[in-house]
Structure 1
């Protein structure tokens, strides 16, 4: 099976060049590209085996992006950038990067580094199941939710509510349906507890100035707005 590489760079010429090179290289790679951090995060759902990451991106810099990626994945990341100072290299490697290649670079050297990092990743491992909704990233494997790189401090029931709603975006669930799914059919209690948990979930999104994705459908219940 071919390895998958994600290339993140806002320069279309570099994206085009590297895509042609790696898709025609022996062995050939599957290549995905992203021109900004938001698009890069959404591409994580494809489970890349390695990421080539530029530091200078139009929305956030690569150092900030790698912090977000590292909360979700241990995929090897090679910085590919024109920043040449020792401080930049130290910053890149200490923030979670595995290697640092300075532009302009030799395609031969780059391919050798890519191959070397992929060889170190030959141990089979389970790929995390990840979903991205704007700046909200849910890792269903580790049962975590990140908003703008912040890990939410969710109670177990709150995470379960997010999981059910987010895996069925735009589907409306009544409070009774959510209560039965999370607490079980035989649980003792009142479905009105759902409203309190939803209120607390929304509060965690709002503390980071993000509109909560759980919408109230008045008289019916709740839905996840993707």
Structure 2
């Protein structure tokens, strides 16, 4: 099957202190990071999955920019697509409010969990606890950087049972103040993509600020 028909678990998260937004996702098909998560600095984020329509991501961000809340954005996205029965959508707005939609053709087990500055969801999962475990892990790591919290949430989702089948791709994205991502890491095809994403994040973490510095103040930027 794969992400085209589901088998995906993901989350959107926000850091109340830095105002960063982030998303992490994993699935059974190739290159999930190109299709599911959409983020904009200072605006929020959108997840679009199951029979995935990536057009809903930019459309959702435009709605958020126009002043729509998360709930209003989800309602407008559902109304805008005649194929909403196949869609699973989550949205977070600039205030950290969250909303989601499960179309009637989204395959079980489905799972969703909303918390302070987080929404986690999935489809074709091993059990309904997967999203709850993800949100709990995110909230329990409140003292960690946002990207770390997102990776821990993916790990918790896998530990709680994950999908019906093996995942093969994963992605981690965080936006901060600039028009480009603060973190944008992808495992496009691998056995064990979540551990691979963990290793990639741990290598990237000490370099992230330096890459931003290169853009905004190159004279003082570190050599990386």
Q: Which has the higher helix share?
A: 1
Under a length normalisation based on structure 1, what TM-score does the superposition of the two structures give?
A: 0.27
Quick check: which has more Rg, 1 or 2? 1
Q: Which has the higher strand share?
A: 2
Q: Structure with the greater relative contact order (CA < 8 A, sep ≥ 6): 1 or 2?
A: 2
Under a length normalisation based on structure 2, what TM-score does the superposition of the two structures give?
A: 0.27
